[in-house]
Amino acid sequence: MQLRLSAEDLAFRDEVRAFIAKALPDDLRDKVLIEQRLGRADLARWHRILDDQGWAAPAWPVEWGGTGWSGLRLNIFREEIAAAFAPEPLVQNINLAGPLIANFGNDAQKAFFLPATRRLDIWFSQGFSEPGAGSDLASMRTRARLEGDHYTVDGQKIWSTDAHISDWMFCLVRTSQEDRPHKGLTFLLIDMKTPGITVRPIPTIDGDHYLNEVFFDAVKVPAANLLGEEGRGWEYARSLLVHERIGIARTGQTRRRLVRARHLAEQIEAQGDAMAARDFRLRIAALEVELRALEMTALRAIQADGAAGPDPSVLKLKGTELQQASTELLVELGGPAAMVRQTAWLLGEREHSLTPVDTAAATATYFQLRAASIYGGSNEIQRNILARKLLAN
């Protein structure tokens, strides 16, 4: 992002770069370089490195491990993480569960969950979508009945990322059918080891497993695990979705892919196909212009401190479209090499023409990001939100 940074902000950027260069383990960087999905041990190692520096959860309240950085510095930090091929902190923990508990949890919940969430001693999954309720969360039917000192939960969640390896789920359930559908939703924190929970894998088109169905059959959840107030889940979820949609834009990751695309276009030109290289460069330049505009929108949204204006929906809509366009471009540039999956020999081929490192897993990533325009509220829903907020008289 090209901004006129103050001397202090430039010094901060240099501090972040120096820290990452020194602290990021080579093996983690190499895995991110080829877009390999990191396991729990890898991510936990990086979380703890960041937490020891005080940077694992920079946007959280200071008393729970946040940094107090300005919106600009948060943006600088996130872009430097992406540019350095450092792992992105676990979204469910840092962007979703942590802010939810910090803003609406009681003191006991904060003390128990937040330090462990920062360091990835606890791994969270999200329980929002259901077979009949995706972008329309008001239609959800998973029920929770208060029975003495516990809630009894029955129902099903779907598309729950990492539920098969998670320790806890922050789960939106229906506790009332009265009044408007949005009014009867409540957040519960559910221990995934509780009897009555069944997790079934959903294989994805990229050949991986990170999505799951989760079934609740008379699951007993202590009433102490109620997050905030009963019936205010929709209000809390809306606050959370603003931050999720800002994060889904992932401008740093898209810029990283466009840098790769430029390198590949140079390789094509060096092989003598100047016409094809020119066409690719024009497409790359067009995407870079759109990305620059989106980066400015992201900064504006961050500085608005989560205000529910149009920016989060713009970021989600355009950000996911650019992710899809950039991965499609890499697949075209890579040709057959884009089908190469992560194998031991990949990391030794960096000087090779059309290097596997530049194209490794490009097709798998392309397939995986087909879902980006659906999760976090489908892009069709975002267009409806924008129409209401920008076009209504």
Q: What is the CATH number of the domain that holds 75?
A: 1.10.540.10
CATH code, domain carrying 180: 2.40.110.10
Calculate ∠ Cα 351-31-120, nearest 5°: 160
| Residue 74 shares a structural domain with residue 157 | no
Q: Is 95 within a domain? A: no
- Give the per-residue pLDDT at 242: 64
* Contacts of residue 227, Cβ cutoff 8 Å, sequence gap at least 6: 100, 101, 104, 105, 109, 170, 187, 188, 189, 236
Same domain, 129 and 215: yes
Task: Specify if 173 maps to a domain.
Answer: yes
Spell out the alpha helix ranges (H) of 271-310: 274-303
State whether 367 and 315 are in the same domain: yes
Tell whether 266 is covered by a domain: yes
Residues acting as catalytic residues: 244
Residues 217 and 258 grouped into a single domain? no
Question: Within this chain, do residues 198 and 266 fall inside the same structural domain, yes or no?
Answer: no
Residue 227 and residue 275 in one domain: no
| Amino acid 84: pLDDT | 93
Q: What is the pLDDT of residue 260?
A: 86
Q: Partners of 41 in the beta sheet? A: none
- Kindly state whether residue 69 falls inside one of the protein's structural domains: yes
Q: At what angle do helices 274-303 and 233-248 cross, to 10 degrees?
A: 150
Domain membership of residue 96 (yes or no) is no
Paired residues of 211 in beta bridges:
202
pLDDT on residue 393: 52
For 248, phi and psi rounded to 5 degrees? -65, -25
pLDDT score at 166: 97
Range of the domain at 265: 249-391
Q: What is the structure's pLDDT at 153?
A: 98
Per-block mean pLDDT, blocks of 10 residues, the chain (393 long): 76 97 95 85 96 95 94 88 92 94 96 97 95 80 96 97 96 87 90 98 85 97 97 87 69 88 89 90 95 84 63 87 93 77 43 48 83 84 84 66
Considering the domain architecture, whether residues 57 and 176 belong to the same structural domain is answered as no
pLDDT at 324: 94
Question: What one-character DSSP code corresponds to residue 63?
Answer: G
The domain tally of the chain equals 3
Write out 104-150 in H/E/C secondary structure: HCCHHHHHHHHHHHHHCCCCEEEECCECCECCCHHHCCCEEEEECCE
Last residue of a domain, one of 199, 231, 263: 231
